[in-house]
């Protein structure tokens, strides 16, 4: 009797639970069996963590050699991770600069040209010493007092050369983080076409923001020369122009060439 009552009570309880679950099912959308899903998810997460940890360890060991590492993920997946070697000093232009010609012309039978040299930043004292000597071999003197001060600094030189002479530096600097010009920002200097030219105000060289589209140089007689944005230097291209320099994303460079007998007064960004 007691056993029959107990079985009856259990049957009644199960029926009540079934009714409650049915009521709940009307209000809740039930997906796949949660226990199995959780177990599979846990196994996948453990497998992924193990794979990522193992791949990280292998990548650290292989990185210096530039080894290609295959990383395992979920079953059926394979991702390739390439550990790139550090860029060499040559690739960073530490010992040989990137050179961009800005303008070229002839003054009283002597050819002249203006260029920009950009030297990559050395990362060690040894690289800095070698760069110092490479600059000296080209007649360049950076804006620091000793080679060690070149470490971490990019150097640039705006130069003018005439005839077969070695280029002479006009504007130059060596800095860790060059200022990026904006708006109508401008730096410039006036010089001469050749060392023996009569006036030092016939050639204007400077840098402007990369957004500048036009620079106007005023001469003392009231006339002006406009330098507009160009994309490169080709034979016959205007001598007065704004151009980007390779390795120098912080600003563009411009040159204004005066007509015969004109002397420099001022320069402004006009567009």
- Residue linked to tokens 């846990």: 42
138 and 237 part of one domain: yes
Between CA 63 and CA 70 the distance in angstroms is 13
Closest CA to 160 of 180, 189, 132: 189
64 and 175 part of one domain: no
Between CA 240 and CA 146 the distance in angstroms is 36
- Residue linked to tokens 């204004």: 256
122 and 51 part of one domain: no
What the block records as the tokens of 6 is 């107990």
**pLDDT single digits (tens) 87-139:** 999 999 999 999 999 999 988 888 999 999 999 999 999 999 999 999 999 99
pLDDT reported for residue 64: 40
Question: Is the whole-model pTM more than 0.75?
Answer: no
pLDDT reported for residue 50: 43
Q: Nearest 5 degrees, angle CA 241-CA 245-CA 250?
A: 105
Q: Which residues, listed in sequence order, are joined to residue 115 by a DSSP beta bridge?
A: 101, 159
Q: Indicate the DSSP class of residue 54.
A: H
pLDDT reported for residue 54: 39
163 and 61 part of one domain: no
**pLDDT single digits (tens) 9-19:** 555 545 555 54
Other beta carbons less than 10 A from residue 252's beta carbon: 25
Between CA 113 and CA 102 the distance in angstroms is 8
136 and 75 part of one domain: no
**pLDDT single digits (tens) 183-208:** 999 999 999 888 776 666 789 999 99
Closest CA to 186 of 160, 168, 204: 204
Q: How confident is the model at residue 39 (pLDDT cuts 50, 70, 90)?
A: very low
Is there a domain that residue 265 lies in?
yes
pLDDT reported for residue 164: 83
Hey, is 233 helix, strand or coil?
A: coil
57 and 123 part of one domain: no
Between CA 205 and CA 270 the distance in angstroms is 16
Residue 26 lies in domain: 2-82
């Amino acid at each position: 009797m007691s056993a029959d009552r107990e079985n009856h009570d259990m049957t009644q309880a199960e029926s009540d639970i079934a009714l409650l679950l049915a009521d709940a099912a009307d209000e809740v959308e039930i997906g796949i069996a949660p226990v199995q899903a959780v177990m599979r998810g846990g196994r996948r997460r453990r497998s992924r963590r193990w794979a990522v940890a193992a791949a990280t360890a292998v990548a650290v060991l292989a990185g210096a050699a530039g080894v290609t590492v295959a990383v395992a993920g979920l079953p059926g997946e394979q991702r390739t991770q390439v550990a790139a070697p550090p860029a060499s000093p040559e690739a960073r232009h530490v010992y040989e600069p990137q050179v961009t010609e800005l303008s070229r012309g002839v003054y009283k039978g002597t050819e002249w040209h203006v260029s920009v040299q950009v030297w990559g930043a050395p990362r060690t004292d040894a690289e800095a010493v070698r760069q110092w000597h490479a600059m000296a071999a080209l007649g360049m003197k950076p804006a620091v007092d000793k080679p060690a001060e070149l470490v971490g600094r990019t150097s640039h030189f705006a130069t003018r050369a005439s005839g077969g002479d070695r280029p002479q530096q006009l504007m130059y600097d060596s800095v860790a983080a060059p200022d990026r010009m904006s708006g109508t920002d401008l730096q410039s200097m006036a010089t001469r076409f050749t060392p023996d030219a009569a006036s030092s105000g016939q050639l204007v060289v400077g840098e402007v923001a990369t957004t500048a589209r036009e620079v106007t140089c005023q001469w003392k007689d009231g006339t002006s020369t406009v330098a507009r944005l160009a994309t490169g230097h080709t034979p016959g291209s205007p001598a007065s122009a704004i151009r980007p320099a390779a390795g120098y994303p912080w600003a563009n460079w411009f040159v204004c060439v005066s007509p015969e007998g004109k002397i420099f007064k001022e320069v402004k960004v006009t567009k």
